[in-house]
Amino acid sequence: MRQFWRLLLRKNLPTNMLQDLKYSVLGLGDSSYQKFNFAAKKLNKRLAQLGGKELLPIGLADDQHNLGIDAIVDPWVKKLWEVVENVFNVSVEDKVDKENSIIERYDIAVVEKGQTSSMDNLCQSRNNIYAEEALIKDEVRIGTVVENKKTTSEDHFQDVRLIQIQANGVEYQPGDVVYVRPKNSVEQVRHFFDILHEHNVKLFPDTVIQVSQREIKVPFVLKRSLTLGEIVEQYWDLNFKPRRSTMYTLSLISENELEKEKLCEFSSPTGQEELYDYINRPRRNILELLADFPHTTSKLNARVLFEIMSPVKPRAYSIASSSKTTPNAIQILVAVVRYKTRLLEPRFGLCSQWLAGLKSNDKVVFWLQKGTFQFTKDKPMILIGPGTGLAPFRSLFLERAITNKSLKDYVLFFGCRNKEKDYHCKDDLERLSKQKDLKVFCAFSRDQENKVYVQHIIRQQRELCWQFLRDGGNIYLAGNSKNMPNDVRDEFVCLAKETGEMSKEEAEVFIGHLEKSNRYQCETWG
């Protein structure tokens, strides 16, 4: 895609180069991110600039929609085939196999059937199936946990950890990101096999599986024989929220009339509201789905499991340390995700829960990647990092404090609930404030009757912020993508309007210019 994009962006291409091309673009995006469907929009625009003719308007699917991407994808695809039929005068009658058989991605062979339901071997081996990646990929590392420290008080509702991982030769800059490969908990893996055995599916933790290529390329990690226990613990995401496609595949193997009817409804365009109420609202996972459809679950085998299960995705965390102050190590600030829904069992984040449970000498497979922040060296900085959004800025402060006599041109706006309960890395910030003149302003939202957030503290310090901006300073924001980024942006528009004596329109243009010129940078997550 990068090669293709570089070709399309060449300035010497004639504007009629694609005059014979008829095209349409469907983007898959998430509106909680600032650059929603950015790639799809840019591609659509460039194809038109080069003379291409749109078959139908761009579709911008949004994962945040109640019905997920299907809310846009279904009607868009239906309309696309109607247009194709009319424009090209061809029949697009459905040619799908009438038997609706499952199109399997891989060839799955059971090398050894296995015989024991015991989890003991899995618990004792501590084998990491991704460890061999480090032998063939220079960027993949195996690190050792040396510290896992809580940064929140014992009586606080949330558990946040500062975790240090030791690995020789790691090099990174402030703003860089670490990708971590997590595992499912032993309890979840045990629950998975309990569900199978309860419904007479003869698959065991010591069953040996061999995966080979069929429709798509086999991932490197599956190219050797693995026990099903290893695959369930480390390759499949047991927190995965089943999708419409999951329901469709299960409907094909179901022989129970009531269950098949419900699964067909969930996989139909008209059943998406019901699917949302069943899966998304309560955050129901794949294990709970299998428990709810016992007759269908009894028809499972290894091949079908590879079609309905989803791989564990690596999780990204901003690095919170400096390679200058902690050489051969990285530190990450992790908020453990736990919450309740209308279901009995509490929900939790797969990776954060796993990280919180790591002990000294436990191993972690990870790799580093450049972050989106581009920190300047000789300009003032306004940094907004509530909660774990502090991480990339802590990395920056620790790094710059080694070489700079002073951090007086840096101002941090940090936010949390209580000064005594979740003021992360308090000692570091107070030390840098005292020794290096770092300006730190905190919003402790629950320490007084009226809630105070970072945008309110920015308002209090509007003269200082405006002075930094007048001196060519940059704004950097990191944290949750829900409300905070828009609230902070609105505050800077007000700041420019009132302190900079601009009209509302001029203030909007001013902040927009900061964003376009990379002087207002955001790194947010859902």
CB 220 within 8 Å of CB 279: no
pLDDT over 70 at 98, yes or no? no
pLDDT over 70 at 94, yes or no? no
- Alpha-carbon span 93 to 225, nearest angstrom: 42
pTM of the model: 0.86
Tens of pLDDT along 4-39?
999 999 999 999 999 999 999 999 999 887 789 999
- Give the closest residue to 333 by CA, choosing from 385, 292, 279: 385
Q: What domains lie within the chain, and their CATH numbers? A: 1-88 (3.40.50.360), 138-175+313-371 (2.40.30.10), 183-311 (1.20.990.10), 381-524 (3.40.50.80)
Q: What is the rounded average pLDDT for all residues in the chain?
A: 92
Share of the chain above pLDDT 70, in %: 97
pLDDT over 60 at 124, yes or no? no
pLDDT over 70 at 244, yes or no? yes
